[in-house]
Structure formats: structure tokens, C-alpha cells
């Protein structure tokens, strides 16, 4: 099928007729454009077909309260989405109560807009395959306003900048239909989250995957390659309150918030950098995997294995019970590097249910104050292959669970401490199952694995902590 493109018919307009992000080449039929009024935009959306690209002329548009830009029954395809894009990235500013309102639509992309509206941008559950890409989100700084809520399956949120909130409310939430369902397979990647300064103790998360009634619902969301800077609105920068999600390859820098598995089971936290902030990784719930993470220079607790007000969350439990903490069971914590944090590995004692059947293996714990391991009550913990070093005391890890030896770390240009060529961490790993095939930088682990997040290699790593150039609207 041919694509229709709402474009200027000049050479400059032809340059704007770039293909939709991720779409294969297709024939284009230039039509008059770009659209220059909201009425023209609505008309173009109403007649859009798969592959159409609607370009909105740069300018500031105030969307009337009673007349948002409705995207209803608009459908593209996987190979030919309907794309609605700003003429230049950030060149179209949308003000007013609302901007776009989506209903019963699929395979629609919104790209390049500066959203400044006063209500939540909602991606509802009667939609699917909605993509928000290369936008700038700085909505009205209204108390309690959540900026973006994704409730549609197979949606993508990528290459956006969320920034500048000082009041209660989250940047980005993922929920689902009804009271306990979750949107499926939402992909959140290459976004820049910065400068959330809400001073309250709860309710200012950059990302929240679910809420307590949805804890047992599998979402299968992937949160990867995002950068969080100065995210101080909540101790939880990524708050996971659902099951079967993956949080990997993100960088958290100079932020109060960390990664918290607050509700849900079978989540995976892998290959994240948390540096120079306060909170690290905190765990509740069952059957999680925490591997290959680097936590350095945090003023608070780097890694917390929580306690539970409930042994397990169960279907049919009361709302009050569901809000409580689920004690961690059957959690794997392996190949992590924790260096010079205010607290290294710690537990909790203020709830009645202790963690059980947790494996803590092949981690690198280094600090010069306090104790490296400060666990409260535990049941059937497996400790092996950990390396401990620094002026900090060993704490209460069993003597058989690790070795006190200088890991001989060297600090690279990014401030990341890595094993030197003569480090005793090399090939010292003890864990054989489950396999962890790559390290934090994407380098192969091989059969004999190193202790800590980094597998030594003489060549430069493939990946490192993210910078603003790696994320946001203008990133590759």
C-alpha cells in the first residue's frame, strides 16, 4: 500500500518526509501540507490510513478544553503505522487542558511534540501498539498530576525527555484495564528522566509499573537504556508493583531514587548503574533475579533484602493486605559490584516475615565504614564466592560465604571501579546455575566467571554508564 504524506511540496518539505521510525521504505505520495491548524490536524487524522505521515507545522497550539485532538478508530499496521509528527523536534508546543485523546486505535506514533498540557496524557486499554517517541514532556506542575499513563498493550515510550516537576505525581505510569490488570509488553527505552524535586516522602516516581492491586498481574514490561538524573521526588525512581518485568541497562545518577521491587514476583534487575545518589536496589516479593548491577558512591543503602508484613500476596486478599510488603523468597543476587556506599548489603527487622531461600553469590562488596553485611533474620540463605574488602567490618555474613581479599580495582574514565588484570576476582565465580552469559557492559562471561558486575577484558567495554547524549529526543 502506498503511504500518503501530509507535507509541503517543496524540497524542504521532501526532507521532512522521513520514514516513520522503525518502518521499512515505502513509496510516498506528497500531498499539500503541513497542517497548520488544529482543525486541519483533526481532518487529516480522520482520513488517515496505514502508512500516512501527518506533519504539523511548527508553532504553539492551545487546545480547547472541550475540543481535544481526537484519535479515534485510527489504525496503522506494524510495518506502516500512522505517524503524527512535529515539523521539527520540539517545534510544536501543545498547550491547554488536553492535547491528543486516543480511543480504539492501534499502530499510531506521536513524535516530536512539546507537551505542556494540564491533564494526563492517557494511552487507554482500548488501544494497542501506540508509540510516544522523541517528545518533550513538561506538563503543568500541578499537585497530584501524573503526566503520562500507558494502559495499552504493546506500547512504546522511547527517546523522550521528562523533566521539571516539583509537585506530587509521577512522570510515567504503566497500568491496565480494570483494577487488577496490567498492559502487556510495554517497552520503555532511551528516555531521559530529570529534575523531579517533589519534597514529599512518597508519590514522585519517574516510572511506576503498576500499583498494589495489580501486583500479581504479569506485565512483561521492559525498562532499558534510560537515564535518570536528579530524580528526587521519591525514594523509588523505578517502582515495580507488578510481575514479570525487566529493568536493565539503565543509569541512575545523583538521584534520591533507586530501583524498588515493591510488589510483584519474578522481576529481573540486570546491568544497571546507580552512582552518586542515595538509594540503591530494594527487594520484596518472590523469585526475582538481581545480577550484574554496579552501585557506587550512594549515600544510603545500596542493596536491601526487605522483610514482609505478609509472607506472600495471594489472589483474593484484602486491599489492606495487598498494600503490605511481601517477604522476599527464592531471590538470586549475584555478580553485583557495591563500592563505597553508605550501606552495602542490609536487611530489615521491623516486619514479622523474614526473607527465605535467597542466594547471595559472587558479589563484590567494598566499603570503608560500617559493616559490609548487616542482615536481620534470614532462613535458608545460600552464600558463596563473595569478595569483601575495605576498612568496613565484614558484618554477619557466614564465614564460608566469602573471602576478604583486595580485589585490586582500578577506576576508569567514567568513575567505574573495575578489576585490574591481576585481580583475584577474575575467574573466581562459584555460581554455575542459572547461567549469566554477559556482564554489565555486554561482554561475554565465558565458562569461568569473574566476581562482581564486570568481567575483566583487556579491550574497552561495549557499554558503560549512560550520558544525556545517549538518550532523549536527539539521541541516535
DSSP code string of 430-445: ---SS---B-TTS-B-
The residue assigned the cell 523468597 is 329
Gap between the Cα atoms of 171 and 158, Å rounded:
14
Which has the closest alpha carbon to 186: 211, 212, 166, 207? 207
Cα(53)–Cα(390) distance, integer angstroms? 58
What is the C-alpha to C-alpha distance for residues 174 and 148, in angstroms, rounded to an integer?
Answer: 9
CA distances from 319 to 214, 301, 313, 322, 323 (A): 11, 29, 11, 5, 6
Beta bridge pairs of residue 345:
303, 373
3-state secondary structure of 43: helix
Per residue in 225-280, pLDDT tens?
999 999 999 999 999 999 999 999 999 999 999 999 999 999 999 999 999 999 99
DSSP 360-422: EES-EEE-SSSEEEE--S-BS-EEESEEEESSSEEESS-GGGEEE----EEE-TTS-EEE-TT
What is the C-alpha to C-alpha distance for residues 405 and 391, in angstroms, rounded to an integer? Answer: 12
Model confidence at 3: pLDDT above 60:
no
Which class would CATH give 159-470?
Answer: mainly beta
Rounded-to-integer distance, Cα 231 and Cα 237, Å: 7
> What local confidence, expressed as pLDDT, does residue 10 receive?
28
Among 198, 195, 346, 373, residue whose Cα is nearest residue 280: 346
pLDDT tens digit string along 68-122? 999 999 999 999 999 999 999 999 999 999 999 999 999 999 999 999 999 999 9
Residue-level pLDDT at 413: 87
String of b and e for 195-214 (b: at least 16 CB within 10 Å)?
bbebeeeebbbbbbbbbbbb
Name every residue whose Cβ is closer than 8 Å to that of residue 11 and which is 6 or more positions away in sequence: none
Residue 108 neighbours by CB under 8 Å, 6+ apart: 71, 74, 75, 76, 81, 82, 83, 84, 102, 127, 129, 130, 131
Q: Which grid cell is 437?
A: 552469559
Pair 424, 444: CB distance under 8 Å: no
Task: Check: CB of residue 431 under 8 Å from CB of residue 384.
Answer: yes
Phi, psi torsion values for 12, nearest 5 degrees? -65, -40
Name, in order, each residue with C-beta under 8 angstroms of 199's C-beta and a sequence gap of 6 or more.
Answer: none
Average pLDDT score, the chain: 93
Residue 21's pLDDT is 38
Report residue 435's pLDDT band, with 50, 70 and 90 as the boundaries. Answer: confident
Q: Report the pLDDT value the prediction gives residue 193, as an integer from 0 to 100.
A: 98
Condensed to tens digits (0 to 9), the pLDDT of residues 37-74 reads: 999 999 999 999 999 999 999 999 999 999 999 999 99
Confidence of residue 1 (pLDDT cuts 50, 70, 90): very low
Kind of pairing between the strands at 371-374 and 121-123? unpaired
Question: Residue 135 in contact with residue 111, Cβ under 8 Å?
Answer: yes
Q: Is the pLDDT of residue 28 over 90?
A: no
How many whole angstroms separate alpha carbon 178 and alpha carbon 77? 26
pLDDT at 25: 39
For residues 315 and 443, give the distance between their C-alpha atoms in angstroms, rounded to a whole number: 41
Residue 418 C-alpha from the chain's centroid: 25
pLDDT at 386: 98
Q: Is 453 helix (H, G, I), strand (E, B) or coil?
A: coil
> What are the φ/ψ torsions at residue 86 (nearest 5 degrees)?
-70, 150
**Residue 32 — very low, low, confident or very high, per pLDDT cuts 50/70/90?**
low
pLDDT attached to residue 20:
38
The C-alpha cell at 202 is 512518597
The model's pLDDT over 379-412, given as tens digits with 9 standing for 90+, comes to 999 999 999 999 999 999 999 999 999 999 999 9
- For the cut 90, the answer to whether the pLDDT of residue 23 exceeds it is no
Lowest average pLDDT, out of 7-16, 134-143, 334-343, goes to: 7-16
- Please check the confidence at residue 5 and state whether its pLDDT lies above 80: no
Which phi-psi region, left, alpha or beta, contains residue 66 (left: φ > 0; alpha: ψ -120 to 50)?
alpha
> Residues of 437-448 as b/e, b for ≥16 C-beta within 10 angstroms?
ebbbbebebeee
Task: Kindly tell me if the per-residue pLDDT of 184 is higher than 60.
Answer: yes
Residue 400: CB atoms within 10 Å? 8
Is pTM beyond 0.75? Reply is yes
Instruction: Give per-residue pLDDT as tens, 293-345.
Output: 999 999 999 999 999 999 999 999 998 889 999 999 999 999 999 999 999 99
- The stretch 359-367 carries a mean pLDDT of 98
Residue 123 has pLDDT above 60, yes or no: yes
| Residues 2, 296: Cα–Cα separation, whole Å | 52
- 223: nearest Cα among 273, 268, 179: 268
- The whole-angstrom distance between residue 388's C-alpha and the CA centroid of its chain comes to 30
Higher pLDDT, 308 or 9: 308
Amino acid at each position: 500500500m502506498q503511504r500518503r504524506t501530509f507535507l509541503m511540496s517543496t524540497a524542504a518539505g521532501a526532507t521532512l518526509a522521513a520514514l516513520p521510525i522503525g518502518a521499512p521504505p515505502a513509496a510516498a505520495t506528497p500531498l499539500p501540507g503541513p497542517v497548520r491548524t488544529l482543525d486541519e490536524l483533526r481532518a487529516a487524522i480522520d482520513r488517515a490510513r496505514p502508512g500516512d505521515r501527518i506533519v504539523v507545522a511548527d508553532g504553539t497550539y492551545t487546545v480547547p478544553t472541550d475540543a481535544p485532538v481526537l484519535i479515534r478508530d485510527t489504525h496503522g499496521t506494524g510495518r506502516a503505522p500512522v505517524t503524527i509528527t512535529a515539523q521539527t523536534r520540539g517545534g510544536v508546543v501543545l498547550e491547554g487542558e488536553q492535547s491528543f485523546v486516543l480511543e480504539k486505535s492501534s499502530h499510531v506514533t506521536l513524535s516530536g511534540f512539546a507537551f505542556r498540557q494540564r491533564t494526563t496524557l492517557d494511552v487507554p486499554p482500548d488501544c494497542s501498539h501506540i508509540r510516544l517517541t522523541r517528545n518533550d514532556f513538561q506538563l503543568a506542575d500541578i499537585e497530584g498530576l501524573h503526566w503520562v499513563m500507558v494502559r495499552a498493550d504493546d506500547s512504546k515510550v522511547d527517546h523522550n525527555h521528562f523533566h521539571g516537576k516539583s509537585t506530587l505525581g509521577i512522570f510515567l505510569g504503566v497500568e491496565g484495564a480494570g483494577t487488577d490488570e496490567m498492559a502487556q509488553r510495554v517497552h520503555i527505552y532511551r528516555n531521559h528522566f530529570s529534575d523531579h524535586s517533589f519534597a514529599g516522602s512518597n508519590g514522585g516516581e519517574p516510572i511506576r509499573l503498576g500499583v498494589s492491586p495489580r501486583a500479581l498481574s504479569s506485565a512483561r514490561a521492559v525498562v532499558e537504556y534510560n537515564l535518570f538524573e536528579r530524580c528526587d521526588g521519591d525514594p523509588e525512581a523505578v517502582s515495580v508493583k507488578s510481575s514479570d518485568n525487566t529493568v536493565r541497562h539503565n543509569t541512575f545518577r545523583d538521584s534520591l531514587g533507586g530501583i524498588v521491587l515493591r510488589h510483584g514476583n519474578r522481576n529481573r534487575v540486570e546491568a544497571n548503574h546507580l552512582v552518586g545518589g542515595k538509594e540503591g536496589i530494594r527487594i520484596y516479593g518472590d523469585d526475582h533475579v538481581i545480577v550484574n548491577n554496579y552501585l557506587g558512591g550512594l549515600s544510603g543503602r545500596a542493596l536491601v533484602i526487605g522483610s514482609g508484613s505478609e509472607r506472600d500476596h495471594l489472589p483474593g486478599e484484602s486491599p489492606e493486605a495487598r498494600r503490605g510488603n511481601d517477604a522476599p523468597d527464592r531471590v538470586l543476587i549475584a555478580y553485583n559490584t557495591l563500592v563505597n556506599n553508605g550501606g552495602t548489603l542490609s536487611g530489615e527487622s521491623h516486619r514479622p516475615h523474614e526473607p527465605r531461600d535467597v542466594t547471595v553469590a559472587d558479589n563484590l562488596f567494598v566499603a570503608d565504614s560500617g559493616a559490609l553485611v548487616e542482615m536481620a533474620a534470614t532462613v535458608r540463605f545460600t552464600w558463596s564466592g563473595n569478595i569483601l574488602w575495605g576498612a568496613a567490618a565484614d558484618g554477619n555474613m557466614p564465614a564460608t560465604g566469602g573471602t576478604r581479599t583486595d580485589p585490586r580495582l582500578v577506576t576508569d574514565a567514567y568513575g567505574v571501579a573495575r578489576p585490574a588484570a591481576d585481580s583475584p576476582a577474575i575467574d573466581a565465580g562459584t555460581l554455575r546455575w542459572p547461567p549469566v552469559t554477559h556482564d554489565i557492559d555486554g561482554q561475554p562471561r565465558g565458562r569461568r566467571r569473574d566476581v562482581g558486575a564486570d568481567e575483566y577484558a583487556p579491550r574497552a567495554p561495549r557499554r558503560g554508564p549512560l550520558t544525556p547524549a545517549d538518550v532523549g529526543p536527539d539521541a541516535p
